[in-house]
Every structure is written in structure tokens, then in C-alpha cells.
Chains A and B, each alone.
Chain A
Amino acid sequence: MADFLSAYTIQRWLELCPQGYLADTVDGHGPDEIEPDILLTDDDMRTDAIRTTVQLVAGERAALAASSGLINSAPDLGSKTFLATQTLDEARHVEIFTQRLYDLGVKPADLESTIDHFVNPHLVKFAGVLLDKVNSGDFIAGVVGQNIVLEGMAFSVFEMLEAGSRELNPKFAHTLRGTIADERRHVGFGENTIGALIRQHPEKKPEIEDMQREMAYHMLMTFSSSFAEGDSALEKNRQTIGEQGPADYHGTNLSTASSEDMQAVLANTVVGEFETRLARIGLEYQPPVGV
């Protein structure tokens, strides 16, 4: 494990991330990039953007709590060091998405009430399942939940949002590209670290699979209700994207797809990612019941 961990040192993180793809950015985007006027002037689109960003803040808060909480139970200094970089990555994500809420007109005094109002209850439960494992000191389940399930979901959601924002909102797309680069590193750590540990502790498999099934249920329910809630803004969004060119996400044109099609392509992409990544660490994806 030591050789593999040499790719996840603080030194490498400093060179890759703050001194690399984040150099010359402010809050993750170019200093001159701003939110497009339409998001600030159209109530439906602004509300939709706030609702979407609140889910990102909630997800990143969970990731911050999980990655920092896993440091103590990590079995070696190399893993603790990597989790330290992930902790700061997640804190940065909390910060930049919180800043986006401010950019969209949310007042700092209203931040928590805005999050409480818009956060999807299934996303809260999704985070709760993960944090229960982290808080009980279960390192293996915690890393699977955090670096495979949560990060796998975040990675796909960010990619879809980035594809849909590239033309409409270069500032948000730029912000997302930085987070995608971070998440890719986190997922890699999870796969490399946990495969060996699961082979050493096969008795942990059923418990981890139960956790994954429950997290996948809440994730798919979050997608379902989020796409339904955003329906009123979708038409305006789609028209704007359409005017500015197609936005492809895994073969689906986001400028013409229905909300059902968008939900389906996102869910299929994330589940496909789960199947691939779980198989790499010796686990089989467990589909949730009743979704």
C-alpha cells in the first residue's frame, strides 16, 4: 500500500491542486467570471439554481464531515495524510458552493435557513447513513460510503451540471471542473485502499452492501424529486441552452431531453459507475428496493 500512497502525498496534492489547476482562480473560477444575468433576474431560474446549489453544499458538508471523521480510524499514516488533503478539498467545495449561493443573492444571515428550506430530505438521510458508519469508527464501510458511493454520485452529478453549464454559465462550469478533478482523485484512493482491506475482511461485505443499498435508495429518490422540483425552470433552461448550442451528457442532449430522460441518464450513469467501481474492490452493486 505504501507505493500506491506515494501518489497521494501532501506534496503532490500541493503541486496538482492549489499550485496546479486552482492557480489563478478565485473561489474555483476565473476572477472575471460571473453568474449570467438570466440566473439573477429570472425568479424561476434563480430559485432552481439556488435549489441545485443547496444540494451541492449539503453533499459537500457530508463529505467534509466524513473525510475528517475517517482520519482517526485510518490504519496508517499515508492514509491519514491523503484523508487530510481530501478534508481540505471538501472544505473548499463547501466554501465555493456557499459562495455561489451568495453570488445568487442569498444573504449570509439567511444561509442556514435557505439550506434547510431547499435541501432534499433524502439527501440528508443519504448523508446520515454514511456518517453513522464514520462516527462508529468503521473505516472500511466509511471509505466505501464516502469515496465510492458519495464521490461516485458527486462525480457524475458534477459532470452533468458541467455539461449543462458550459455554454450557459462558464463560471459555474469552471468551478465544477475543479471539483471534478478533486473527486477523481478521491475515488481513486477509495478503490486502491479498500480493495485490499476488503480482501482481508470478507466478513464485512454484507454490512457494507446493506449500507450501499440504503445510500443508493436515498440517492435515486433525491434524483427523482430534484428533477420533479426543477421542472418549471427546465423549459427556460433548455431554451437558453438550445439557443447557445447542444449540451451532450453521455449521449443525451441536455438541451432537448425531457426531465425524465435527464433523470434516467444520470441515474444510469451513476449506477454504472457504482457497478464498475464496486466490482474493482470485490463487491457487487446492490440495487435498492422500491425505487
Chain B
Amino acid sequence: MTDDIFDPHDLHPDDFLEEVHSFEFWFQSVDGYLSDRPHGRLAASNDVPIEGAGREALITTLCNYCVGETAALEGAGGMISIAPNRHSKIFLATQVVDEARHLEVFLYRLRELGVVDTEAEIARRANPNLLRFKDRLLELVRTADWAGALFAQNVVLETMEAIAFDAHAQVADPITAQILDGVIKDERRHLGFGENDLGRLLQDDPDTRVRLGAIRQELDALVLAAFDGALADTGSVREDQPTLGRDYLATIDRLGLV
């Protein structure tokens, strides 16, 4: 007897996109790591006391994660109207909920750390380079630049977040580490969408590749400055900052898009 294991890669390319960009596929993907994890962590998890400079550093880091996730939420939401086909619109709708969930679990964690007015605290601690990144991303969305927005959102921003979250998860307290673990799983899916869609788009479009190269130069500078600035507040990862930047640049290079 053979096992009938469904593999979407066996599908025709059009059917594959219909399958992997669907609500059903999204729900099956996230159900495994969210069903028993209210607010992104196992219900039975015990928190450890975080005080003094460690608490301050974590609050600043989480506030900047919220800036990044708000940018991702607004970016993905705006991209739905400029997406070129139904599959992409449906996928982006799943991404919108993922980004909103990330924002929500980080806000919840901030409240656990004693932050009362989270929106004011985020505004106070936001890294200016991240805010500039957000403005540039939303400008690409507003001008209906699908390739530019997809590159900025699903490649650059997702890579930056994945690398920062992964590094932080290695040294974070148990609750924050669990939250980051779930977020990273989502980010991988988003990056995969951006990489695949842009890969197809760039195959026959050298002009767009050149244009994305210019956008990359502009955004790389903001990402590296954001690493230098925002993560400098987190003593636990300070020594890793050059590594974070290198990892980010190497990951973008490895994708081979621009």
C-alpha cells in the first residue's frame, strides 16, 4: 500500500499557484504552529522577570519590530489593489493577517512588560531609518510599482526581519523566543512568495532588474543603518551587528534577483 501524500509541486504550474496562494493552504500552514499558541506562545509557558536595562532594551527592540510589522501590514494591504492577478491578491490577504498577527503579539508582549500606551511608546522609540524605509515602501505601493513594492516588502523587509528575529530568538527570554519562532515561520512563506513571483517576472525583463537594483541600493543603506541603530539598544545582540548586516546582504545576494 502506498501513502497518498499530497504534494502541490506535482500540480500544473497554474494549479500550483492556485493551491499555494489560497486561504485553505494558508490555514493548513499556520494551523500547526498557531492552534495551541494564544498570542504566539504555548499557553503553559512561564515568563521570567525582565528588569532594568534588559527590560528597556527589549521594549525598544519590540517597538521597532512593531514599526516594521506596521510597515509590512500597510504595505501588504496596499499591494492587494495593485497585484496583477487573483492568486497574488489572495496570498497578500493571508500575508496581511500574518503581519497584523505579528503586530498584535508584539504589542501584547509590550503590555506584559508594563507599557501602557503602546502607540506613544512606539512613536517615541522608533528608529528613523525604519520610518524612512516604511515611507519608501508605501511610496512604491502608492505609485502602483508592483515589482518595486514586492521587492521592498517581500524580499528586503522580510529578509531584514527574518535575520533580526532569528538572531534575537537565539538569545531572547523563553516567551519572546517562542513568539519570534512563529513569526519567522510566516516570514519564510512571505519571502518565498516574493522570490518566486519576482523570479518569474524578471526572467524576461532586464529593465526591471536594473530598476530594482537601484531600489536595492537605496534600501540596503536604510536596512544597515536600522541594524546599527535599533539593535544597538539590545546589549545581547550588539556584538552580532556586523554579522547581521553581512547575513542580510548575503541573503539578498543569494536570491540572485538583482
In angstroms, Cα B28 to Cα A19, docked, is 11
B24 contacts A26, CB within 8 Å?
Answer: yes
In angstroms, Cα B24 to Cα A94, docked, is 12
A85 and B73 in contact, given A19-B35, A71-B78, A108-B18 (Cβ under 8 angstroms): no
A88 and B104 in contact, given A14-B34, A64-B80, A64-B93 (Cβ under 8 angstroms): no
Q: Interface majority SS on B: helix, strand, loop or mixed?
A: helix
In angstroms, Cα B137 to Cα A60, docked, is 27
Query: Which residues on the B side are within 8 Å of A88 (C-beta)?
Result: 23, 93-94, 96-97
A18 contacts B27, CB within 8 Å?
Answer: yes
A104 at the interface (CB under 8 A from B): no
A68 and B77 in contact, given A11-B104, A81-B104 (Cβ under 8 angstroms): yes
Cβ distance A13 to chain B, nearest Cβ, rounded Å: 8
B107 at the interface (CB under 8 A from A): yes
In angstroms, Cα B118 to Cα A80, docked, is 15
B70 at the interface (CB under 8 A from A): yes
In angstroms, Cα B102 to Cα A84, docked, is 12
- B10-30 toward A: CB 8 Å interface, digit per residue (1/0)? 000010001000111001000
A81 contacts B103, CB within 8 Å?
Answer: yes
A209 at the interface (CB under 8 A from B): no
Cβ distance A176 to chain B, nearest Cβ, rounded Å: 16
B96 contacts A87, CB within 8 Å?
Answer: yes
What range describes how many residues of A lie at the interface?
20 to 34
Cβ distance A48 to chain B, nearest Cβ, rounded Å: 24
A68 contacts B70, CB within 8 Å?
Answer: no
What range describes how many residues of B lie at the interface?
35 or more
A68 contacts B78, CB within 8 Å?
Answer: yes
A77 and B107 in contact, given A11-B38, A68-B77 (Cβ under 8 angstroms): yes
B239 at the interface (CB under 8 A from A): no
Instruction: Name the interface residues of A45-92: CB closer than 8 Å to any CB of B.
Output: 64-65, 68-69, 71-72, 76-77, 80-81, 83-85, 87-88, 90-92
A84 contacts B39, CB within 8 Å?
Answer: no
A108 and B14 in contact, given A26-B24, A76-B119 (Cβ under 8 angstroms): yes
Query: Which residues on the A side are within 8 Å of B103 (C-beta)?
Result: 77, 80-81
A68 contacts B96, CB within 8 Å?
Answer: yes
A87 contacts B97, CB within 8 Å?
Answer: yes
Cβ distance A131 to chain B, nearest Cβ, rounded Å: 8
A95 at the interface (CB under 8 A from B): yes
Interface centre among A26, A64, A135 (most CB of B within 10 A): A64
A65 contacts B96, CB within 8 Å?
Answer: no
Contact of A84 among B38, B73, B86, B118 (CB under 8 A): B73
B113 at the interface (CB under 8 A from A): no
B100 contacts A95, CB within 8 Å?
Answer: no
B78 contacts A80, CB within 8 Å?
Answer: no
Instruction: Name the interface residues of B46-95: CB closer than 8 Å to any CB of A.
Output: 66, 70, 73-74, 77-78, 80-81, 86, 89-90, 92-94
B101 at the interface (CB under 8 A from A): yes
A9 at the interface (CB under 8 A from B): yes
B99 at the interface (CB under 8 A from A): yes
A212 at the interface (CB under 8 A from B): no
B27 contacts A87, CB within 8 Å?
Answer: no
Cβ distance A111 to chain B, nearest Cβ, rounded Å: 8
In angstroms, Cα B92 to Cα A46, docked, is 32
Cβ distance A19 to chain B, nearest Cβ, rounded Å: 6
B138 at the interface (CB under 8 A from A): yes
Query: Which residues on the A side are within 8 Å of B23 (C-beta)?
Result: 88, 91-92, 95
A38 at the interface (CB under 8 A from B): no
Query: Which residues on the B side are within 8 Å of A68 (C-beta)?
Result: 77-78, 80-81, 92-93, 96
Query: Which residues on the A side are within 8 Å of B97 (C-beta)?
Result: 10, 13, 84-85, 87-88
Closest 10 A-B residue pairs measured CB to CB?
A: A91-B93, A84-B100, A71-B77, A68-B80, A88-B97, A92-B23, A10-B101, A68-B77, A81-B100, A84-B96
Would you list 7 pairs from A and B whose C-beta atoms are within 8 A, ordered by A residue?
A: A9-B104, A19-B31, A71-B77, A77-B118, A83-B77, A84-B73, A84-B77
